[in-house]
Structures are given as C-alpha cells and as structure tokens.
Amino acid sequence: MMQVLPTQSSANTKECPSPGRLIVLTGPSGVGKGTLMQALLKRHPELYYSVSVTTRSPRPGEIDGKNYYFISRSKFEQLVAQGEFLEWAEFAGNYYGTPREAVLNQVRSGKLVVLEIELKGARQIRSSFPSALSIFILPPSLDELEKRIRGRAQDPEEAIARRLRRAQEEIQAADEFDVQIVNDDLETALNAIEATLFG
Ligand code: ADP
Ligand code: 5GP
C-alpha cells in the first residue's frame, strides 16, 4: 500500500557522483523514448542504460533483465524499505524504480548513465543530483501521441486512457527540464539528443 511506504524522497540526501554523469530522459508514455534509447545505445555503446525495476507485467517480447526487472509488489515494497532505489514512483497503477548501487557504481566509474524515467522520478533525481542533465521528449501533438500509444497495440484500453491523461500532466512540466526535444522525425530527434550529450 502506498501509505506504508517511506516517502518517495529516498534520494533526498545530496549525493555528488563524479566524474561520470547522470542523464535523465523523460517524456510521456508513447512519445518514443524507448525507440530513441535503443537507437542511441546502438550508436554509443559506451553509454550505460539503467535497467529499471517494475511491478508491471511484461509486454510481449519484453525480456526480464533487459527491458526491466519484473518483480512483485511485495518484493518492490521490500526493496523500497531497504533503500535500494535511487528514485521510485507509481505510474499508471504500477511501481517503477531505479536500482541505486548499479547506477552509482557506473557514474563513479566515469560513465554517462541514462535513466529513462517518468516525471516524479525525474524530479527526485534533479533534486538529489543537481548536476544531472535532464531532457524532456515532446510529441509533435497529442493526436500523434495517442496514435503512437495505440499503434504500439500492447496496452489494454484502460491503461491507454490512463497514460493519455498522465501525458497531458507531464507535458506541462517540460519547461522544468534543461533541454526539450520534439520527437517528430526520429532521426532529427536522435541527432538533437546526441548534440546535447556530446556536442
Ligand atoms: P515510449 O518508450 O516513450 O513509451 P516507444 O518507444 O514505445 O515510446 O514508442 C511508441 C510508438 O511510437 C512505437 O510504436 C514506436 O515505433 C513509435 N515511434 C517512436 N518514435 C517515432 C517517430 N519519431 N515517428 C513515428 N513513430 C514513432
Ligand atoms: P512503461 O510501462 O511504458 O514501460 O513505462 C511507463 C513509464 O514509467 C515511462 O514514462 C517510463 O519512462 C517510466 N519508468 C520506467 N522506469 C522507471 C523508473 O525506474 N523510475 C521511474 N520513476 N519511472 C520509470
């Protein structure tokens, strides 16, 4: 239950990893974050992509340990209590969290570490790691976003409706981020992310 969990500010103490850097990639569900990430990792295998932990069920084709670590709610709550997450949040009825130790180790070893996470988690990271670079991916329009979510055809109708509602809230927070990139043409958006990271 949400009430019995510690607050979502487990990353409250200021931590200053160096010399690597945390990159936070956020944007509404269906905007193309996963697609952009895959392409980015192909071009830059030196990046470290943080595999999150979730209580959501795997979509067809998703692999445990690659896309996510899929675990039960009770196990997730246990990990929260043990302080194992750098940040965590509830999204559309499921929990999602970033494993603390793996990420901090990679940052300490000098890597650019990319977290692909939703808004509440991104806010936690930005307050704990002011040196993190935060990027918000915007859709060309809400209509196009809905098309993409439906086109993915992997979420139940009720989840699609929730994700669209949440998307509108998230998009309003885009200005909080260091950089905003519209994912209209994939290649153009990818180049813009590259220019932000390496330019
Ligand atoms: P997210 O990870 O943000 O939830 P996905 O990467 O799963 O989004 O993308 C959602 C859908 O949108 C997928 O079917 C993907 O192929 C499609 N998509 C991603 N980027 C673009 C783009 N630039 N133009 C058109 N379709 C896109
Ligand atoms: P999906 O269920 O579509 O894979 O992900 C739903 C949302 O959860 C996306 O916005 C995604 O970026 C976000 N998400 C994935 N992993 C994490 C995480 O570890 N922490 C947080 N806060 N959000 C996450």
- Domain annotation covers residue 1: no
- Domain annotation covers residue 3: no
Exposed/middle/buried for 107, CB within 10 Å: 0-12, 13-18, 19+? buried
- Domain annotation covers residue 114: yes
pLDDT of residue 1: 31
pLDDT of residue 15: 53
Whole-prediction pTM value?
Answer: 0.89
Half-sphere exposure of 19 (CA within 13 A, CB side): 1
**Nearest atom, ligand 2, residue 28 CA:** 10
- Sorting pLDDT into bands at 50, 70 and 90, what band is 173? very high
> For residue 140, how far is its CA from the centre of ligand 1 (angstroms)?
12
- Domain annotation covers residue 2: no
Exposed/middle/buried for 183, CB within 10 Å: 0-12, 13-18, 19+? buried
> For residue 139, how far is its CA from the centre of ligand 1 (angstroms)?
10
Whose CA is closest to 24, among 157, 164, 130, 125? 125
Residue 64: give the domain boundaries.
10-198
- Domain annotation covers residue 136: yes
> How many domains would you assign to the chain?
1
- Domain annotation covers residue 5: no
- Domain annotation covers residue 70: yes
- Domain annotation covers residue 73: yes
Whose CA is closest to 24, among 93, 101, 112? 112
CATH number of the domain enclosing 33: 3.40.50.300
